[in-house]
């Protein structure tokens, strides 16, 4: 990719998780610094953008909030395409939302179909940590799960109390940025005939032995 | 099958069309970005325009078009971000205005509109004072696209990219930036966009040949979220007050929904309103909303709408701690009247829909009005009556209606976690009746399971009656019960649940406890052969347990009589297992268990009870057990039990033991005779009677029986078996000898030893012979090891 004067990076981040875990609230807290107790179901998918500085680079984060209920995704999940990072969210007071993380992750990898799925950046957020007395999933359990998935970074957050939300999204942006710089490897962005890097050509052709 | 194949070929074809389009998008996007990098803005826009022309395609179905659209929008986001960066640096107002005008020269309308929106967004970001005007411009200009699919996606794009730019300042207050608009501008903008999108969506229904109606409806269902996004945007406005919602926004949405007369649109948008707006708004507009429901097309599944609303509000009300909403708004009355009206007005409503409406109402009643049992009860009554009117019966629990019926029956059980409370819903059992036999049993079973899981104690006859009223179909044969019902796994599982229920009977008073057990015994006793086999034994065990807890009279002058009554009850119950249950082994065990229990309780008639129980066990053995192996083990059990009791007088003890010896000597096989007689011999040694202290230790009787056994053993014709029996006898003799039975002389032992030794040599070599010989050698070794204690015997044996 030509890394000429395009200084500002645009990062696409998808938030997935069961209905009611607080995906919209997390996004609203991070982008608008607002929290509402009112529950409004998300239908379809919607994004908000936010400009952030990562080290000395200006980055526009495009954060996609999605409907946790399948029936509200009547057009399918094509918006996973081109994601630079996938944020999995669950509710620490709801063990079912934790158990479903595997299927959300699998669904994402199947639908987004990134190259090298084993190293695609995921981040896990355990929301509603302010409701400690109702906790149903221990930090240990969540961490163990993260380790089993190639060391996914894990944050416990509260959209309501604005706890750890900022730092979690900073980490998300960092992971996504690291990924975006190797964009062309994740998603075939360019027409096949354009090969600017001769080395890459060589590598692809001379990959195997003849036996 | 046919349909599937068509679908498959369609998707292959669709993938191909999409691939071609995406290829162009990628190539043009690449060129666009390259031009941007080189600051050739006009070239970039030209490539963007070619890229956007792909969205003019008529080949793609909605899902594939959406994929293309997402790729294009991803690229437009880059374009927007880049233009914003550049123009911010240039700081020339006219450049953006020029650019906005320039893109309007694009040749075709689709690229033109997408570019206008993209550049318009940059414009609004640079010059907030232009927002209201530009939004209006864009939403008006979009009217130019009248193709439903393309128009819907275009307007969705408009909604998506303007999301963070929509004016949301309070109405009537001058916004910080003059001209940047208030929430009023946004409401107008979305209202217009919404009505245009709904029109496009509805129009789609009427385009194309009528034979493709199904496909068209499927596609329309896929596209619905695009239309719904308008409502989402409205719900996200911070300054959309409840008042504005109530007076203006909702009425205008409802007007749009009702007047479009399109069932798909109506059903979806009504549900969408419920999902996206806040609960407080719904509570404030309940009557208006419900009134509109009545005006919807006949094809609309209003029950879906109503259920969605009930479910949402019950969740809200039940979570709203310390609020007065429950009292202020008569939610239950409103919704039950609505539901009833709906059922009456739509005579063709499927049974499962009728039931699921009631499910929502029951949830509302138990979750929000838990203390008002009458509410929940009314729903079950209404459900039962509605189903009766429809003359439905024998509903299969796996049918749609059956599943729904099971679901509604579960609601209070799961919610109350107290079956006794469920039983207070007096009309609940009536709602079970429309299910077939298996369905009713399943419902009863989860009720029992809940009782057991929550360890709900049953403390009175009322409690027992209450539970029984809910599990009627598990207690006795039902008219619609299949012939082979008892053969199923479920039948066995359900009986196990009843058995577990018996252990939940926990009266505070022992007398009441007996009353309860006895009462339940009578009910269960009517269950027929297959049921009582599983349900009566736990009753008997519970009675024994109760009797053991009743060891002391505690000053109760009727104590003797009460304890006796328990055993009479147990005895009668065991009798039922034999006559009705056609069982043998288990009743025999229960009689013997009863004898041992009675022996431990020192009530005045315990000897009589013990005698009765053991003699009944012996009668079972005599009359009912024919198989010699079973007789053998049964006789061993009786013998052991007699060894354990000590309250019998000899006059009663003797006949019992005599009967055992008689039964032993009547065994069919000689070998069995020898073994049972040997065991019986120990009765005269270790047994106890009431008159004398300690064990009987009657050596004469012991040797008499052993001699008799030896005689039988000698009659045995098979050398191997005979040798086996003699080794056994040697062990028996030596055991009594060691235990101090002086009647046994060393001569007898010596004779037995030489006899077994001689026989051992004559046995033909075999594995069995080896085993027997080993047993003999062990026995002899034992005798040698203990010889010092018995010098007389040692001398005799010369060891």
Query: pLDDT tens digit string along B220-250?
Result: 999 999 999 999 999 999 999 999 999 999 9
Answer whether A76 sits within 8 Å of B66, measured CB to CB: yes
**Which of A36, A43, A64 should we substitute to test contact with B (largest number of B Cβ atoms within 10 Å)?**
A43
Per-residue pLDDT at A95:
96
Chain A CB within 8 Å of residue B81 CB: yes
Q: B132-167: per-residue pLDDT in tens?
A: 999 999 999 999 999 999 999 999 999 999 998 999
Helix (H, G, I), strand (E, B) or coil at A64: strand
Q: How far does A80 lie from chain B, in Å, by closest CA? A: 9
Answer whether B160 sits within 8 Å of A47, measured CB to CB: yes
Q: What is the band of B790 on the pLDDT scale with cuts at 50, 70, 90?
A: confident
Q: How far does B423 lie from chain A, in Å, by closest CA? A: 31
Per-residue pLDDT at A207:
39
Structural domain of B764: 716-799
**B 165-224 residues with CB < 8 A to A:** 221-224
Answer whether B67 sits within 8 Å of A81, measured CB to CB: yes
* pLDDT reading at B684 higher than 90: yes
Chain A with chain B: Cβ pairs closer than 8 A: 95
Chain A CB within 8 Å of residue B164 CB: yes
Which of B37-46, B209-218, B299-308, B550-559 bottoms out in mean pLDDT, i.e. has the lowest?
A: B550-559
In B580-649, alpha helices (H): 585-600, 606-624, 628-644
Per-residue pLDDT at B799:
67
Q: Chain A residues with CB inside 8 Å of B69's CB?
A: 78
Of A8, A43, A191, the CB nearest to B232: A43
Per-residue pLDDT at B600:
94
Answer whether A43 sits within 8 Å of B223, measured CB to CB: no
User: Tokens in use for A99?
Assistant: 């158990």
Domain count across chain B:
1
Answer whether B279 sits within 8 Å of A49, measured CB to CB: no
Q: Chain A residues with CB inside 8 Å of B219's CB?
A: none
Q: Chain B residues with CB inside 8 Å of A35's CB?
A: none
Q: B527-578: per-residue pLDDT in tens?
A: 999 999 999 999 999 999 999 988 777 788 889 999 999 999 999 999 999 9
Answer whether B225 sits within 8 Å of A40, measured CB to CB: no
Q: What residues contact residue B91 under an 8 Å CB cut-off, 6+ apart?
A: none
Domain contains B720: yes
Q: Chain B residues with CB inside 8 Å of A47's CB?
A: 160, 163
Domain contains B765: yes
Please check whether the domain covering A13-203 is classified as CATH 1.10.10.10. no
pTM of this structure: 0.78
* pLDDT reading at B581 higher than 60: yes
Per-residue pLDDT at B777:
94
Q: What residues of chain A score a pLDDT lower than 50?
A: 1-6, 184-211
CA distance B75 to B665: 101
Q: B725-778: per-residue pLDDT in tens?
A: 999 999 999 999 999 999 998 899 999 999 999 998 888 889 999 999 999 999
**Which of B33, B38, B122, B230 should we substitute to test contact with A (largest number of A Cβ atoms within 10 Å)?**
B33
CA distance B72 to B26: 9
CA distance B339 to B486: 40
Chain A CB within 8 Å of residue B529 CB: no
* pLDDT reading at B5 higher than 90: no
Hey, where are the domains in chain A? 13-203
DSSP one-letter code for A34: -
Answer whether B81 sits within 8 Å of A60, measured CB to CB: yes
Answer whether B280 sits within 8 Å of A38, measured CB to CB: yes
Contact assessment for residue B550 and residue B601, using Cβ atoms and an 8 Å cutoff: yes
CA distance B124 to B132: 9
Q: What residues contact residue B257 under an 8 Å CB cut-off, 6+ apart?
A: B265, B266, B269, B270, B292, B296
Per-residue pLDDT at B647:
95
Task: Report the run of H or E that residue B565 belongs to, with start and end.
Answer: helix B559-579
Task: Report the run of H or E that residue A123 belongs to, with start and end.
Answer: strand A122-127
Average pLDDT, chain B: 93
Of B85, B160, B275, the CB nearest to A43: B275
Percent above pLDDT 90 for chain B: 83
Of A5, A42, A79, the CB nearest to B70: A79
Domain contains B193: no
- Comparing CA positions, the residue from B708, B646, B652 lying closest to residue B681 is B708
Answer whether A43 sits within 8 Å of B81, measured CB to CB: no
Answer whether A7 sits within 8 Å of B85, measured CB to CB: yes
Q: Nearest chain A Cα to B86, which residue?
A: A6
Of B63, B71, B163, the CB nearest to A81: B71
Chain A CB within 8 Å of residue B664 CB: no
Q: Chain A residues with CB inside 8 Å of B224's CB?
A: 74
Domain contains B754: yes
Which of A98-102, B306-310, B341-345 bottoms out in mean pLDDT, i.e. has the lowest?
A: B341-345
Q: How far is CA B274 from CA A17, A22, B308, in A?
A: 22, 19, 7
DSSP letters spanning B180-217: S--HHHHHHHHHHHHHHHHHHHHHHHTSS-GGGHHHHH
Q: Nearest chain A Cα to B61, which residue?
A: A75
* pLDDT reading at B51 higher than 90: yes
CB atoms within 10 A of CB B328: 9
Chain A CB within 8 Å of residue B277 CB: yes
Per-residue pLDDT at B321:
66
In B423-484, alpha helices (H): 428-432, 437-453, 461-470, 472-475
**A41 or B193: which carries more pLDDT confidence?**
B193
ipTM for the assembly: 0.83
Q: How far does A5 lie from chain B, in Å, by closest CA? A: 6
Q: What is the band of B8 on the pLDDT scale with cuts at 50, 70, 90?
A: low
Task: List residues in chain A touching B: CB distance below 8 A.
Answer: 2, 4-8, 10, 12, 38-44, 46-49, 60, 62, 72-76, 78-79, 81-82, 189-191, 194
**B257 or A46: which carries more pLDDT confidence?**
B257
Q: How far does A139 lie from chain B, in Å, by closest CA? A: 27
Encode B691-714: b = buried (16+ Cβ within 10 Å), e = exposed.
eeeebbbbbebbbebbebbbebbe
Contact assessment for residue B386 and residue B353, using Cβ atoms and an 8 Å cutoff: no
Longest dimension (CA), chain B: 135
Helix (H, G, I), strand (E, B) or coil at A48: strand
Chain A CB within 8 Å of residue B26 CB: yes
């Amino acid at each position: 990719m030509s890394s000429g004067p395009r200084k500002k990076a645009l990062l696409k981040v998808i938030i997935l998780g069961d209905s009611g875990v607080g995906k919209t609230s997390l996004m609203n807290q991070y982008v608008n610094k607002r929290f509402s107790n009112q529950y409004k179901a998300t239908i379809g998918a919607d994004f908000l953008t936010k400009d952030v500085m990562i080290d000395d680079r200006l980055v526009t984060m495009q954060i996609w909030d999605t409907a946790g209920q399948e029936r509200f995704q009547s057009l399918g999940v094509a918006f996973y395409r081109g994601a630079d990072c996938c944020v999995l969210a669950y509710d620490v007071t709801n063990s079912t939302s934790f158990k479903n993380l595997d299927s959300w992750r699998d669904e994402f990898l199947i639908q987004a179909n990134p190259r090298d799925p084993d190293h695609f950046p995921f981040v896990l957020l355990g929301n509603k940590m302010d409701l400690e007395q109702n906790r149903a999933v221990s930090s240990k359990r969540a961490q163990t799960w993260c380790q089993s998935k190639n060391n996914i970074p894990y944050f416990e957050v509260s959209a309501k109390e604005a706890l750890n939300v900022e730092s979690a999204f900073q980490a998300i942006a960092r992971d996504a940025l690291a990924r975006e710089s190797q964009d062309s490897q994740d998603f075939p962005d360019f027409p096949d005939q354009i090969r600017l890097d001769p080395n890459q050509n060589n590598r692809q052709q001379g990959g195997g032995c003849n036996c | 099958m046919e349909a599937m194949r068509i679908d498959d070929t369609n998707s292959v074809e669709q993938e191909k069309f999409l691939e071609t389009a995406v290829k162009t998008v990628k190539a043009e996007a690449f060129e666009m970005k390259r031009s941007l990098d080189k600051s050739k803005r006009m070239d970039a826009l030209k490539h963007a325009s070619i890229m956007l022309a792909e969205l003019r395609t008529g080949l793609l179905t909605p899902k594939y078009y959406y994929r293309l659209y997402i790729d294009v929008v991803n690229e437009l986001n880059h374009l927007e971000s880049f233009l914003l960066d550049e123009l911010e640096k240039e700081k020339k107002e006219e450049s953006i205005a020029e650019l906005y005008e320039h893109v309007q020269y694009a040749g075709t309308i689709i690229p033109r509109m997408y570019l206008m929106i993209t550049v318009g967004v940059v414009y609004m970001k640079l010059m907030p004072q232009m927002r209201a005007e530009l939004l209006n411009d864009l939403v008006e200009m979009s009217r130019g696209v009248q193709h439903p699919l393309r128009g819907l996606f275009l307007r969705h794009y408009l909604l998506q990219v303007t999301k963070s730019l929509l004016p949301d300042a309070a109405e009537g207050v001058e916004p910080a930036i003059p001209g940047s608009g208030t929430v009023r501008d946004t409401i107008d903008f979305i209202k217009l966009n919404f009505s245009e999108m709904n029109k496009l969506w509805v129009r789609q229904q009427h385009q194309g040949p009528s034979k493709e109606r199904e496909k068209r409806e499927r596609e329309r269902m896929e596209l619905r979220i695009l239309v719904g996004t308008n409502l989402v945007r409205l719900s996200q406005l911070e300054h959309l007050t409840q008042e504005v919602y109530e007076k203006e926004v909702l009425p205008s949405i409802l007007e749009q929904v009702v007047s479009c007369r399109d069932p798909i649109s109506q059903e979806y948008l009504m549900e969408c309103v419920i999902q996206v707006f806040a609960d407080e708004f719904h509570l404030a507009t309940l009557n208006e909303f419900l009134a509109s429901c009545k005006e919807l097309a006949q094809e609309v599944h209003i029950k879906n709408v109503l259920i969605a609303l009930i479910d949402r509000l019950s969740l809200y009300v039940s979570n709203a701690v310390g609020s007065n909403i429950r009292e202020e708004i008569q939610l239950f009355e409103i919704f039950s009247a609505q539901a009833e009206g709906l059922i009456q007005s739509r005579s063709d409503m499927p049974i499962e829909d009728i039931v699921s409406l009631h499910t929502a109402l029951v949830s509302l009643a138990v979750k929000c009005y838990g203390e008002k049992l009458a509410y929940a009860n009314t729903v079950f009554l209404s459900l039962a009556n509605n189903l009766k009117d429809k003359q439905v019966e024998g509903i299969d629990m796996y049918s749609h209606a059956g599943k729904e019926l099971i679901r509604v029956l579960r609601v209070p059980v799961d919610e109350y976690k107290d079956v006794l409370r469920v039983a207070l819903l007096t009309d609940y059992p009536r709602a079970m009746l429309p299910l077939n036999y298996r369905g009713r049993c399943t419902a009863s079973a989860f009720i029992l399971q809940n009782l057991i899981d929550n360890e709900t104690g049953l403390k009175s006859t009322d409690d027992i009656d209450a539970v029984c009223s809910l599990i009627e179909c598990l207690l006795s044969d039902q008219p619609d019960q299949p012939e082979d019902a008892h053969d199923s796994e479920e039948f066995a599982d359900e009986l196990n649940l009843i058995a577990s229920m018996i252990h939940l009977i926990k009266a505070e008073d022992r007398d009441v406890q007996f009353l309860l057990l006895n009462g339940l015994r009578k009910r269960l006793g009517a269950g027929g052969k297959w049921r009582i086999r599983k349900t009566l034994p736990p009753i008997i065990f519970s009675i024994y347990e109760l009797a053991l807890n009743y060891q002391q009279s505690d000053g109760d002058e009727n104590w003797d009589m009460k304890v006796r009554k328990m055993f009479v009850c147990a005895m009668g119950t065991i009798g039922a297992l034999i006559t009705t249950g056609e069982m043998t082994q288990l009743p025999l065990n229960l009689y013997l268990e009863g004898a041992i229990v009675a022996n431990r309780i020192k009530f005045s008639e315990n000897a009589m009870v013990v005698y009765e129980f053991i003699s009944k066990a012996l009668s079972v053995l005599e009359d009912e057990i024919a198989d010699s192996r079973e007789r053998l083990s049964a006789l061993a059990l009786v013998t052991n039990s007699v060894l354990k009791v000590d309250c019998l007088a000899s006059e009663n003890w003797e006949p019992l033991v005599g009967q055992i010896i008689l039964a032993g000597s009547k065994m069919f096989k000689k070998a069995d005779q020898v073994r049972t007689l040997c065991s019986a011999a120990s009765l005269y040694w270790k047994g106890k009677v009431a008159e004398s202290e300690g064990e009987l230790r009657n050596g004469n009787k012991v040797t008499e029986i052993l001699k008799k056994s030896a005689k039988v053993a000698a009659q045995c014709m098979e050398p191997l078996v005979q040798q086996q029996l003699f080794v056994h006898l040697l062990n028996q003799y030596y055991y009594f000898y060691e235990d101090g039975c002086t009647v046994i002389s060393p001569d007898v032992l010596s004779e037995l030893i030489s006899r077994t030794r001689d026989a051992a040599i004559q046995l033909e070599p075999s594995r069995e012979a080896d085993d027997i010989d080993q047993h003999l050698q062990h026995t002899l070794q034992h005798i040698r090891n203990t010889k010092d204690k018995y010098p007389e015997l040692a001398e005799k044996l010369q060891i």
